[in-house]
Amino acid sequence: MIIALRARNKLPFIDGSLDKPGEDDPLRERWERCNSTLIAWMFNTMEESLQATVAYAIDAKNLWDDLKERYSEGNQSRVFQIKTEICLLKQEGLSVREYYGKLKMLWDELEVYLEHPGCSCGASATISAQRETEKSFQFLMGLTSEFNTIRSTILSIEPMPNLNK
């Protein structure tokens, strides 16, 4: 759902980074139309039994937060499980490409559960950079000993290169 909302440039409606315009704001009508579209999209993806509990939602963000609160219980155990899998994953018997692919799959799933603060102060960029550095460390830790020289070389580079490089 997040990917679909991001692709349609609607994520700010549910992540709190786009506030509802004031009554006299000329963008108010457009905002209302987009908000209603988002509510309809979410409503149409729900089972009928759930639809009845949210039928009177008037704000996409509040609806999203309500659903997130109801159904995100138990995420902590899944986050713990994913992080454990990441820590235990080693390249042993895998090509570098296969090893990276398995890590990438776990990182991508973990991202779904992590908070992504929306702000204009630059903190979100700093947090994102820290997460990428952590991924680089995790990748390097799991490589077999034949990559010790390359690992040492990469660790000596400031700043740490992105894994995609």
Please give the pLDDT value at position 1. Answer: 74
Neighbours of 25 (CB within 10 A): 11
Instruction: Give CA–CA dist 131/111, Å, rounded.
Output: 10
CB 32 within 8 A of CB 76: no
* Domain parsing of the chain, residue ranges: 2-71, 75-155
Dihedral angle sign, alpha carbons of residues 118, 124, 128, 131: negative
Please give the pLDDT value at position 69. Answer: 79
Please tell me whether the overall predicted TM-score, pTM, comes out greater than 0.85 for this model: no
Rg (CA), the chain: 21
Of 91 and 49, more confident: 91
pLDDT digits (tens, 9 = 90+) for 107-162: 988 887 877 666 777 777 788 888 899 999 999 999 999 999 999 999 999 888 88
Does residue 105 have a pLDDT over 80? yes
The residues near 57 (Cβ < 8 Å, ≥ 6 apart) are 39, 43, 63, 66
